[in-house]
């Protein structure tokens, strides 16, 4: 989408390269701070209906705008006039393709780990027969707005055709003499004595076509599916499911839908579904929805696309799990999962301290919590929750995924000192964190030449950065983990 070039040029934005430029001509990106200037006696600027606080200096008004960490079209209100501009994606964000890639890899590894978990259940992780799953809910939550748009388009102009219906009507209302009428008169033997009511054919528009029948069937299936999500234990998901279910219920009560007889049983893709610009989108939406049923292991809470950082943390953890599993360090996987009446879920959440037991009395934790009264390792200041922790009897290794900081790694590494200095071994009083590493999706051209990524930096300072990008090989992490675990097994008093 191109930039909007018209509008109130009295509102300006400071650009490092160009200086003060008209606000509506600026290239806005996500999660960025901008300085605004307005020349005039009075200013009223609202960003998505939220007023911006301006302060006056000499003859101008100034304000600071911080764009949200989401891209898309935004509405701007400037002194009584409405305008639109666009916020472009931050280059630091992973793409939607990488988002889906991480989803697939997390759940693929979860299915593999399930075989080693020792959990007893009558349903196989590879059965692909769960009615609901986290990936399916994530798809519904992200794309329901698109479905609403598609339905509104169909509602305005549904597929229909003309059909002829035989009916009895008053003779004065017969506009065209049909063969059906003549045959009926001959059959009844009226001859020239035409009765007051005759049989004729009337042409009417009908929407009760196969594609619309499938559409109604899909709406009914979606309504039943949302009822299942409404009954899950996670309140935020249940609340959204009730909202979406109410929308689908309104669609089913639409006069256009009520005049259609729903299809039953399996359905096929017709030429109209293939070629009609709107019905094709509708069919594709439900086709993708049904494909999510193939995932046997899900999460017990949702993650939206804008919260990619949370998914990146989980993906990094599961990549470490995969390396440990393939190098035969794993003893017990059961801490990864929990079983509810809705199914089997990955148990990755803050304060759950999801744990995998490894050989040599070592454990791998996700979102491990340390505070003043923790048993073996404790903090003397605030509560600390490293994302990924390898914990032995004598020490800790911290891995901290940071996908938003490829150009600010120095500051991010500086924050790792809080773990190195703030977590202590309760018995010895020594620092518990022996090594600390940042995992980041920094691109190769950025990573090359940066000392934080070099092996000599890691060996000397026992901290640094490791490149973790969806779709790339993770050999560096594999080598580092192997060295760390061998060291922890050889020197348990240190680790």
| Per-residue pLDDT reduced to its tens digit, 170-226 | 665 655 555 666 566 656 656 666 676 666 666 567 888 899 999 999 999 999 999
Residues 393 and 484 in one domain: yes
Residues 400 and 371 in one domain: yes
pLDDT given for residue 165 in this prediction: 58
Task: Indicate whether 384 belongs to any domain.
Answer: yes
More confident residue, 283 or 120: 283
Domain total of the chain = 4
On the question of pLDDT at 435 being above 80, the answer is: yes
pLDDT given for residue 114 in this prediction: 61
Residues 340 and 470 in one domain: yes
Half-sphere exposure at residue 215, Cβ-oriented, CA atoms within 13 angstroms: 28
Neighbours of 113 (CB within 10 A): 22
Question: How far are the Cα atoms of 15, 37, 41, 56, 302 from residue 59, in angstroms, in the given order?
Answer: 20, 10, 8, 7, 49
On the question of pLDDT at 465 being above 80, the answer is: yes
pTM for this one? 0.52
Domain-terminating residue out of 31, 66, 88 = 88
Residues 197 and 173 in one domain: yes
Q: Which residues pair with 398 in a beta bridge?
A: 389, 436
Least confident of 29-43, 51-65, 98-112, 237-251: 98-112
Q: DSSP 3-state assignment of 174?
A: coil
Ramachandran region of residue 142, left (φ > 0), alpha (ψ -120 to 50) or beta? Answer: alpha
Of 10, 53, 41, 11, nearest to 28 by C-alpha is 11
Supply the range of the domain harboring residue 347. 306-490
Residues 136 and 184 in one domain: no
Task: Read off φ and ψ for residue 294, nearest 5 degrees.
Answer: -75, -15
Residues 379 and 421 in one domain: yes
Residues 386 and 248 in one domain: no
Question: How far are the Cα atoms of 93, 229, 246, 248 from residue 151, in angstroms, in the given order?
Answer: 31, 22, 15, 10
Neighbours of 123 (CB within 10 A): 12
pLDDT given for residue 306 in this prediction: 47
Residues 17 and 59 in one domain: yes
Residues 334 and 481 in one domain: yes
Spatial neighbors of 149 by CB under 8 A, at least 6 apart, are: none
Taking the C-alpha atoms of 208, 214, 220 and 224 in order, what is their torsion angle to the nearest 10 degrees? 170
Least confident of 18-27, 302-311, 393-402: 302-311
**Mean pLDDT within 143-160:** 89
Which range has the top average pLDDT, 188-197, 245-254, 482-491?
245-254
Inter-residue contact 1 to 21 (CB < 8 Å): no
Residues 260 and 396 in one domain: no
**Mean pLDDT within 98-117:** 69
On the question of pLDDT at 244 being above 90, the answer is: yes
């Amino acid at each position: 989408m191109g930039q909007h070039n018209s509008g109130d040029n009295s509102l300006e934005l400071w650009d490092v390269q160009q200086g003060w430029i008209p606000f509506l001509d600026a290239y806005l990106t996500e999660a960025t701070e901008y300085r605004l200037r307005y020349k005039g006696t009075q200013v009223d600027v609202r960003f998505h209906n939220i007023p911006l606080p301006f302060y006056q200096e000499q003859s101008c008004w100034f304000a600071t705008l911080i764009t949200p960490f989401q891209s898309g079209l935004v509405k701007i209100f400037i002194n009584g006039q409405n305008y639109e501009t666009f916020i472009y994606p931050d280059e630091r964000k992973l793409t939607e393709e990488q988002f889906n890639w991480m989803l697939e890899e997390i759940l693929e590894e979860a299915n593999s780990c399930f075989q080693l978990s020792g959990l007893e259940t009558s349903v196989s992780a590879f059965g692909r027969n769960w009615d609901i799953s986290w990936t399916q809910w994530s798809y519904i939550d992200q794309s329901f707005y698109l479905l609403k748009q598609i339905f509104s388009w169909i509602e305005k102009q549904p597929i229909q055709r003309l059909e002829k219906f035989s009916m009895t009507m008053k003779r004065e209302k017969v506009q065209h003499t049909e063969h059906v009428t003549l045959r009926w008169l001959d059959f009844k033997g009226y001859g020239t004595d035409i009765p007051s009511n005759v049989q004729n054919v009337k042409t009417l528009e009908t929407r009760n076509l196969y594609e619309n029948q499938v559409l109604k069937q899909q709406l009914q299936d979606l309504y039943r599916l949302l009822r299942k999500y409404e009954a899950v234990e996670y309140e935020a998901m249940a609340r959204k499911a009730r909202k979406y279910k109410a929308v689908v219920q309104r669609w089913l009560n639409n006069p256009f839908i009520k005049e259609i007889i729903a299809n039953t049983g399996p359905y096929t893709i017709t030429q109209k579904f293939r070629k009609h610009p709107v019905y094709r989108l509708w069919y594709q939406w439900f086709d993708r929805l049904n494909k999510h049923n193939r995932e046997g292991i899900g999460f017990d809470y949702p993650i939206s696309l804008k919260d990619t950082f949370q998914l990146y943390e989980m993906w990094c953890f599961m990549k470490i799990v995969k390396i440990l599993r393939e190098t035969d360090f794993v003893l017990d996987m059961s801490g990864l999962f929990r079983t509810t009446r809705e199914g089997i879920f990955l148990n990755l959440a803050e304060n759950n301290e999801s744990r995998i037991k490894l050989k040599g009395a070592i454990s791998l934790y996700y979102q491990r919590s340390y505070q003043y009264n923790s048993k073996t390792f404790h903090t003397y200041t605030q509560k600390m929750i490293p994302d990924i922790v390898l914990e032995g009897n004598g020490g800790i290794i911290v891995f901290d995924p940071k996908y938003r900081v490829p150009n600010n790694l120095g500051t991010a590494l500086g924050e790792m000192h809080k773990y190195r200095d703030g977590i202590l071994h309760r018995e010895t009083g020594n620092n518990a964190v022996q090594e600390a590493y940042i995992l980041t999706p920094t691109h190769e051209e950025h990573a090359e030449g940066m000392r934080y990524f070099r092996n000599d930096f890691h060996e000397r300072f026992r901290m640094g950065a490791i490149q973790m990008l969806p779709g790339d090989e993770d050999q560096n992490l594999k080598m580092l983990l192997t060295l760390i675990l061998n060291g922890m097994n050889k020197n348990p008093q240190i680790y």
